[in-house]
Chains A and B, each alone.
Chain A
Amino acid sequence: MEMEIPGGANESARMSRTLYEFNGGVHPDEHKQVSTSRAIGIAPLPKQIIVPLSQHIGQAAKPLVGVGDQVLKGQRIGQAEGYVSVSVHAPTSGTVTAIAEHTVAHPSGLSDLCVHIAPDGADQWITHAALDYRNMAPSHLRNLLRDMGIAGLGGAVFPSFIKLNPGAAQKVPTLILNGGECEPWISCDDMLMRERAGEILQGAAIMRFMLNSDEVLVGVEDNKPEAIAALRAAAGDCGFPVEIVAVPTIYPGGGAKQLIKVLTDKEVPSGGRSTDIGVATFNVGTAYALHRAVHHGEPLISRIVTVTGNVHRPQNFEVLIGTPVAELVRLAGAVKDDTSGYLMGGPMMGITLASTDVPVVKATNCILAQSPALFPPTPPAMPCIRCTRCAQACPADLQPQELFWFARAKNFGKTQEYKLFDCIECGCCSYVCPSHIPLVQYYRYAKSEIWAREKDKKAADHARDRHEFRQQRIEREKQERAEKLAQRVSTKPATVDSDSPEDAAATAKKAAIQAAIERAKAKKDSVTPKNITDLPPEKLQEIAEIEARRAKIREIAQQPVDE
């Protein structure tokens, strides 16, 4: 289905873009205006900072500092390990008090390795300068961005340097900035676009340069008119052609695949990536972080976080990574008395926080305080009635009811046949389910079970290889020993006639031992120890006695024991 977006006469050139629709989607209550009435506040320095070493998709960073070290603001404290990884940095100057486990924002509520920093209050920067990115080898620039910790701030926290590689084609024709922000309650991207539109577009300029893109689109849902206006005003003097496109408000219109479909009518193939169809998508927050990194030399140490829900003064804050959620909630006027819990993210895709001790990470777009009044508990689940409303709502064109049946029956092969891994876990299916079945939980369960099994399978294959190698080695060593022995035997004439190879081997062994003994004896006899030449006779007598005893012992020892 196509549609025209209405626009003013002066905007007609820009508004001529034809937009498309993805299937499915829902319209949950937005609750965004709650937190957009106040400008972005700058969160003060927290008393303690806890920086998790794993904030991104991929391998955790390796700590570079030790307990007691003085660190400066922006100093690298964790180094990227492996390819899919980025570095982490000290958000302020201070002392490293511990490198220890701490509860992190994760659905498990488990602890992970974090660098704990006690801020010294000086907030003193490392020396940092803008990068001359246009006169730099592209791979060097990407490595610098990796070292500056730039990762996608839309939620997935995928290392940006990987996405900023134009690949073999040396070109990604379409660059899309994602300002969709479709999830209810969250307004951090909205406020960033309103207040820092120019900087976002400067970040887009760097992306455009790195990807050699022809067109730059910024997709913003039309429930953010202030953001659209700010971006359009900034687009006039950003120095490159950019189109600010208002897209219809529908959840999950801010999903990367969904936004690509709406703007270009292209669909990312199942299991593929958007670059396969010549499109790169970045969150507007990532563009802003890239601008700070390249034009100011600042690594990613802060982000905008929406603090909303059951708090007295909902607001967006620019927060240092590592700030405990509890301090952030205090800034928003503390929570109301009936607060029942906290979500990181929105009500559709957010994760429940185990405690408010957890630190803000690169993925933290929103802290949402819950109350029974704002978020009534889901009614008990009832059996699936096969109404297929979930299939109508699914923006990934899947069959959620089938996936549910298979996941529930632990029939993981079938879930994969039904493209479980194309599910973006947006929660539309659970949202519309008249039986209130927690569908996404089943998909998450099935996904993590499949991953775990694949990992086990790999480990088993590895163990098999090692075991087989060991068997081979033992066999080879045995053979080599036998060969060596056979060689020695062949040099000496065989004295006993040998019927079986075992006998031959045993005889050869005996002969070899005998030969060795005789060699040693001959050698010993040929040498007279110098220290006994001028000894008194009684001493010599004593030595002779000892030698005789030794000879006797040797004789006893050489007698066969088990024959």
Chain B
Amino acid sequence: MAGLAIFLGAALGFAAVRFKVQEDPIVEQIDAILPQTQCGQCGFPGCKPYATAIANGEAEINQCPPGGEDGIHKLAELLGVEFKPLNDEHGEPKPKAVAVIDEATCIGCTLCIQACPVDAILGAAKQMHTVIAQECTGCELCIAPCPVDCISMDTIQEAVATWKWKYPVVQMKVRA
């Protein structure tokens, strides 16, 4: 019995070293659910750090406004925890938007370029800057550093190409 215990212990010990998982896969899985806006509203400097914090039990699952209720449901399902409504200390979900630079006002200070987490702003010192709309995640991080307040958020309007069928609202027969 003792021999078996020693053998199994050794086997487990060997397995722990031999098959060590390099990166915590749960972090990757959580990160895959997060919307990757990199907006920092959760209180962490990006989606990956927030994912790591959730995995380490240092953060709640309801701190991501862009992910919305849907994201919280997915996280709850993944982690096997109870769903919690979005913590409004971290902000409210907003319709998708992209940053727009008023090119006439821009002084070319590059502060927004340095703030953009996904390199979606193009420009150089003392040159006009512009937002590459397709790359913009709508994180709003460029708005605060702008010294001349020339950046605004434009809500993405519904178009034929992006329109979605609505959830059917069915009138049920009312019993007389």
Residues of A within 8 A of B (CB): 54, 60, 104, 106-108, 110-112, 379-383, 410, 437-438, 441-442, 444-445, 447-449, 452, 456, 459-464, 466-467, 469-470
Report whether B160 and A104 are in contact in the complex, using a CB–CB cutoff of 8 Å.
yes
A382 touches B173 (CB 8 A): yes
With A110-B159, A466-B135 in contact, do A448 and B172 touch (Cβ < 8 Å)?
Answer: no
- Cβ of B164: which chain A residues have Cβ within 8 Å of it? 445, 448-449, 452
Please tell me if the beta carbons of B173 and A380 are within 8 angstroms of each other in the complex. yes
- Residue contact B172 to A380, C-beta cutoff 8 Å: yes
Q: Which residues of B contact A464 (CB under 8 A)?
A: 31, 36, 47
A108, A381, A464 — most chain B CB neighbours (10 Å): A464
> B52 interface residue, CB < 8 Å from A?
no
Decide if A106 touches B173 in the complex (CB within 8 Å): no
Collect the chain A residues with CB atoms within 8 Å of residue B159's CB: 110, 112
A383 nearest in chain B by CB position: B172
B117 A470 Cβ-Cβ under 8 A: yes
Inter-chain contact B38/A463, CB cutoff 8 Å: yes
A112 to chain B: closest residue by CB: B160
The docked-state distance in angstroms from the alpha carbon of A15 to that of B164 is 46
A-facing residues in B22-42 (Cβ within 8 Å): 31, 34-38
List A contacts of B171 (CB < 8 A).
380-381
Checking A108, A460, A461 against B163 with a beta-carbon cut-off of 8 angstroms, the contacting residue is A108
Q: What sequence of 0s and 1s flags, for each residue 145-176 of chain B, a beta carbon within 8 Å of any chain A beta carbon?
A: 00000000000001111111111101111100
Residues of B within 8 A of A442 (CB): 168
**What are 11 A-B interface contacts by the 8 Å CB criterion?**
A54-B161, A108-B158, A111-B160, A380-B172, A380-B173, A381-B171, A449-B165, A460-B35, A464-B36, A467-B47, A469-B119
Q: B161, B163, B170 — which one has the most chain A CB atoms within 10 A of its CB?
A: B170
- A110 in contact with B119 given A444-B165, A460-B35, A463-B36 (CB within 8 Å): no
Min CB gap A103→B, angstroms: 10
Contact yes or no, A445 B166, CB < 8 A: yes
- Grouping DSSP codes into helix (H, G, I), strand (E, B) and loop, the B interface class, with mixed when no group exceeds half, is loop
- Nearest residue, chain A, Cβ from B166: A445
Q: Is B110 an interface residue (CB 8 A)?
A: no
Q: Which 8 A-B pairs have the closest CB atoms?
A: A460-B36, A463-B36, A108-B163, A441-B168, A466-B118, A444-B165, A448-B164, A380-B173
Given contacts A380-B173, A382-B173, A463-B38, contact A445 B163 (CB under 8 A): no
Contact call B170/A438, Cβ cutoff below 8 A? yes
Shortest beta-carbon distance from A543 to chain B in Å:
33
B63 at the interface (CB under 8 A from A): no
A456 to B, closest residue via Cβ: B35
A112 to B118, CA, bound (A): 30
Instruction: Type the 1/0 row for B34-69, where 1 means its CB is closer than 8 Å to any CB of A.
Output: 111110000000110000000000000000000000
Of all chain A residues, the one with the shortest Cβ separation from B120 is: A466
Q: A108-B163, A110-B160, A382-B173 are in contact. Are A463 and B168 (CB under 8 A)?
A: no
The reply to whether B163 and A110 form a contact with Cβ atoms under 8 Å apart is: yes
Complex Cα spacing A470 to B34, Å: 18
Residues B168 and A438 in contact, CB atoms below 8 Å apart: yes
In the complex, how many angstroms separate the beta carbon of B69 from the nearest chain A beta carbon? 12
Give Cα A437 to B46, complex, Å: 45
- Contact status A445-B137, CB under 8 Å: no
- Given known contacts A104-B160, A108-B158, A380-B173, is B119 in contact with A466 (CB within 8 Å)? yes
Which of B31, B36, B162, B173 has the most C-beta atoms of chain A within 10 angstroms of its own C-beta?
A: B36
Interface size class of B (residues with CB under 8 A): 20 to 34
B38: A residues at CB distance < 8 A:
463, 467
Which chain B residues lie closer than 8 Å to A382 at the CB level? Answer: 172-173
C-alpha gap A444/B174 in the complex (Å): 26
Q: Which residue of A lies closest to B158 (CB)?
A: A110
Whether A447 pairs with B163 at a CB distance below 8 angstroms is no
User: Do A381 and B31 touch across chains, with their CB atoms under 8 A apart?
Assistant: no
Pairwise interchain contact A108-B118, C-beta atoms closer than 8 A: no
Give the complex CA separation of A379 and B170 in angstroms. Answer: 11
* B167 CB, min distance to chain A CBs, angstroms: 5
- Nearest residue (CB) in B for A447 is B165
A383 to B173, CA, bound (A): 9
Given A379-B173, A444-B165, check contact A463 B37 (CB 8 Å).
yes
Q: Is the CB of B165 within 8 A of A381?
A: no
| Cβ–Cβ contact A445 & B118, under 8 A | no
Docked pose: A498 CA to B114 CA in angstroms: 33
A470 and B46 alpha carbons, distance in the complex (Å): 12
- Separation of A60 and B159 alpha carbons in the complex (Å): 13
Known contacts A108-B163, A441-B165; A467/B117 CB under 8 A: yes
Considering the complex, give the chain B residue whose CB is closest to the CB of A104: B160
Q: How far is the CA of A546 from the CA of B59 in the complex (A)?
A: 63
Give CA–CA (A466, B37) in the complex, Å.
Answer: 11
B167:A445 contact, CB within 8 angstroms: yes
Closest to A461 in B: B36
Partner of B168, one of A380, A445, A452, A462: A445
B75 to chain A, nearest CB (A): 14
Query: Which residues of chain B have C-beta atoms less than 8 A from A463's C-beta?
Result: 36-38, 118, 135, 137
Residue in A closest to B35 when the chains form the complex, CB atoms: A460
For B46, give its contact among A108, A381, A467 (CB under 8 Å). A467
Residues of chain B lying within 8 A (CB to CB) of residue A469: 119
Contacts of A110 in B (CB 8 A): 158-160, 163
Residue of B nearest to A107 (CB): B165
Given A441-B168, A460-B34, A470-B118, 13 more pairs with CB closer than 8 A:
A54-B161, A60-B161, A104-B160, A107-B163, A110-B160, A380-B171, A381-B172, A383-B172, A438-B168, A452-B164, A459-B36, A464-B31, A466-B120
B45 closest partner in A (C-beta) = A471
A448 partner residues in chain B, CB cutoff 8 A: 163-165
A449 to B164, CA, bound (A): 7
Shortest Cβ distance from A379 into B: residue: B173
Distance A380 CA – B34 CA, assembled complex (angstroms): 40
Q: Give the shortest distance, in Å, between B90 (CB) and chain A (any CB).
A: 18
Chain B residues, CB < 8 A from A111 = 160
Query: What are the residues of chain A within 8 A of B117 when measuring CB–CB?
Result: 467, 470
B36 A106 Cβ-Cβ under 8 A: no
Residue of A nearest to B162 (CB): A452
CA distance A381 to B168 in the complex (A): 11
When C-beta atoms are compared, the residue in chain A nearest to B37 turns out to be: A463
With a cutoff of 8 Å between Cβ atoms, the chain A residues found around residue B172 in the complex are 380-383
B157 nearest CB neighbor, chain A only: A110
A442→B168 CA distance, assembly (Å): 6
Chain B: which residue is nearest A446 at the CB level? B165
Considering the chains assembled together, what is the distance between the CA atoms of A470 and B120 in angstroms? 11
Max chain B CB contacts within 10 Å: which of A441, A447, A456, A467? A467
- A-side contacts of B158, CB under 8 Å: 108, 110
Which B residues touch A461, using CB under 8 A? 36
